[in-house]
Structure 1
Amino acid sequence: MLIESPPSTPDVALRAWCADDLDELVAAYRDPVLHRWTRAPVTTAAEARRWLDDVQRDWADGRRHTFAVVEEHADGARLVGNVVLKGVTPQRPAPEVGYWTASWARGRGVAPRAVTALSRWAFDRFPEVARLDLLHQVDNVASCRVAQKAGFVFQEILPARPPFPLDGHRHTLHA
């Protein structure tokens, strides 16, 4: 999968997921906090392979654009998270931004920088997109802070709907 110009920001880079990432993907999903906020945890090598196949298929058909978030270190790059742009279609008024951060990278501003890079890329890549949404459950205080730091503005409380048991927040960012 080729990404014309992968987004980046100081200290983190976004790139296509690849087979070399699968062990770190499974390791990231061992975190109980990540399990709490994601709908489809990846707990085995087979699940990781299916997840990667889905990511590549979604890129090919334009439904979702998922990036691995990496930090460069003296000994090479390390996976620190994931960002995704969901629902770039004429039927959807605003695509949704999603993300997660590996436990070993939390609290260092990785998520806001990655979300900012993805948002800039989305507006550049899809000029017809005027707004992005970032959604999270009301009790996910960390996601609320990430949205604010990345420039997303709180818009409304959304009622709970399966699979999410609690109400949510909708934050938006305009092009």
Structure 2
Amino acid sequence: MITGDALLLRPWREADAAELVRVQRGDAALRRWTGAAVDDEAAALAWIAGQARGWETGDRLGFAVVAADARNCAAEEGELLGHIALKDVLSGDGRAEVGYWTAARARGRGVAPRALTALTGWAFGRGLTRLELLHEMDNTASCRVALKSGYERAGVLPAAPPEFPLDGCLHACRPGA
């Protein structure tokens, strides 16, 4: 678990399935940027199982981002605000990629930069030396989050259709930056 700035980042659990469906259902922006399609509890449970497999292998560490305060921090409960993950953690070169999404109800409340800042500090405290964040060029909200969280622009990656139809903006962060 990671705590920071009224947020709790904790591993996903099966009990999150119904809320995950509520958050994702009908959120066109979330589907556009993530490609996620969690429309029912079975899909949510499969997605959560995938997050658990990432923890088991150590290669992908996914966290549910929930609202926290002095009362709910220890109980690991709170309003589901989003998801954040470290990907390709076992690359062997001290690097990992960061990915995240926020629930529609959490957008504009500073959740993404607060979660990213907390995860970044946690990751660097565990020996990672470079974190990268990639978003499509027209995702200006993710660009703002990256810059606000200390991730500098590091380049442009060319589109790779069909999975990545648009050029991508690469941001990077190093400890102490």
TM-score by length of 1: 0.90
In 2: Cα distance, 1:161 partner to 1:94 partner: 22
Q: Which amino acid aligns with 1:114?
A: A
Q: What are the superposed Cα offsets for residues 135-167 of structure 1, whole Å, 9 maximum, x if unpaired?
A: 000000000000011110011111001301100
Worse overlay, 131-140 or 37-46: 37-46
| Identity across the alignment (%) | 48
In the other structure, the counterpart of 2:113 is: 112
* 1:9 counterpart residue number: 4
2:57 maps to which residue?
Answer: 61
The corresponding residue for 2:134 is: 135
SS at match of 2:155: strand
Counterparts of 1:22-171 in structure 2 under 5 Å?
A: 22-30=17-25, 31-72=27-68, 77-91=78-92, 94-125=95-126, 127=127, 129-162=128-161, 163-171=163-171
Task: Look up the SS of the partner of 1:166 in the other structure.
Answer: coil
Post-superposition shift, 1:92? 5.3
* Letter paired with 1:137: E
Once the two structures are TM-superposed, the CA of residue 104 in structure 1 deviates from its matched residue by 0.4
C-alpha contact (below 8 Å) 2:2/2:122 kept by paired residues: yes
RMSD: 1.6
| Structure 2 gap segments, 5+ residues each | none
- Cα distance in 2, alignment partners of residues 21 and 43 from structure 1: 14
Question: 1: distance between equivalents of 2:68 and 2:129?
Answer: 32
The alpha-carbon distance between structure 1 residues 115 and 43, as it changes in their structure 2 partners (threshold 3 A), is same
Task: Return the TM-score normalized by structure 2.
Answer: 0.90
Deviations 1:14-37 (A, max 9, x none): 011112211111111121110001
Q: In 1, Cα distance between the equivalents of 2:130 and 2:53?
A: 25
Greater Cα offset, 60-69 or 70-79 = 70-79
Structure 1: state its 5+ residue gaps. Answer: 1-5
Q: Is the 8 A contact 2:81 2:103 kept in 1?
A: yes
